[in-house]
Structure 1
Amino acid sequence: MLRDANPRELDQIVVENVLAFDEGFWVRLAARIDLCKSDDDKAWFSQLDFFFKDYEELAENVMNIVDRLVHKTDEKIEQSTDVLKAIISPVMHEGENATWPPRDPEALKLMEKEISNREKEGQLDEGFLSEVNAQLRQAKQDGDKPGLQAMLQKVLQLFASNFLQKRSYAYKGGEVIVPESFLESVIKAPENEWNKLLLDGLTVGKGNVSPEEFYAVIKKRIERVLIRTEGGSYQQRILVEYLKEIQARAEEVVKVLQGPTI
Structure 2
Amino acid sequence: MQIPESEGFWVRLAARIDLCKSDDDKKDYEELAENVMNIVDRVVHKTDEKIEQSTDVLKAIISPVMNEGEDGMWPPRNPEALKLMEKEISNREKEGQLDESFLSEVNAQLRQAKDEVDKPGLQVMLQKVLQLYASNFLRKRSYAYKGGEVVVPEKFLESIIEAPENDWNRLLLDGLTVGKGDVSPEEFYAVTKKRIERILIRTEGGSYQQRVLVEYIKEIQARAEEIVNRLQGPAV
Q: Normalized against structure 2, the TM-score is what?
A: 0.95
Residue 32 (structure 1) aligned to one of 4, 8, 12: 12
Cα displacement string for residues 143-162 of structure 1 (whole angstroms, at most 9, x for unaligned residues): 22110000000000000000
Counterpart of 1:121 (choices 77, 95, 120) is 95
Instruction: Return the offset for 1:80.
Output: 0.6
Is the alpha carbon distance of 1:260 and 1:129 closer, same or farther for their aligned partners in structure 2, counting shifts above 3 Å?
A: closer
TM superposition shift of 1:104? 1.2
Give matches, 1:2-17, under 5 Å: 13=1, 17=2
Listed as ranges, the matches of 1:1-262 within 5 Å are 13=1, 17-18=2-3, 26=6, 29-35=9-15, 42=18, 45=19, 47-259=21-233
- 5+ unaligned residues in a row in structure 2: which ranges? none
Distance across 1 between alignment mates of 2:49 and 2:7: 27
TM-score scaled by length of structure 1: 0.86
Verify the 8 A CA contact 2:72 2:121 in the aligned structure 1: yes
Q: Distance in 2 between matches of 1:229 and 1:209?
A: 28
Tell me if structure 1 keeps the 8 A contact 2:135–2:161. Answer: yes
Q: Deviations over 1:135-184 (max 9, x none)?
A: 00111122221100000000000000000000000011111000000000
Distance 1:141 1:34, change over 3 A: farther
Taking only aligned residues, the RMSD between alpha carbons, in angstroms, comes to: 1.7
Distance verdict in 2 for CA 1:188–1:27, change over 3 Å: same
Residue type at the aligned position of 1:66 = V
- Residue 56 of structure 1, CA deviation: 1.5
Work out the CA distance in 2 between the residues paired with 1:260 and 1:238.
27
Aligned residues, how many? Answer: 236
Mapped to 1, the partners of 2:51 and 2:21 lie a distance apart of 47
- Is the 8 Å Cα contact of residues 228 and 234 (structure 2) preserved in structure 1? no
Give the fraction of aligned pairs with identical amino acids, expressed as a percent. Answer: 78
Compute the displacement of 1:63 (Å): 1.0
Equivalent position amino acid for 1:231 in 2:
G
Larger Rg: 1
Q: Distance in 1 between matches of 2:52 and 2:7?
A: 30
Q: 1:47 to 1:193 in 2, by over 3 A?
A: same
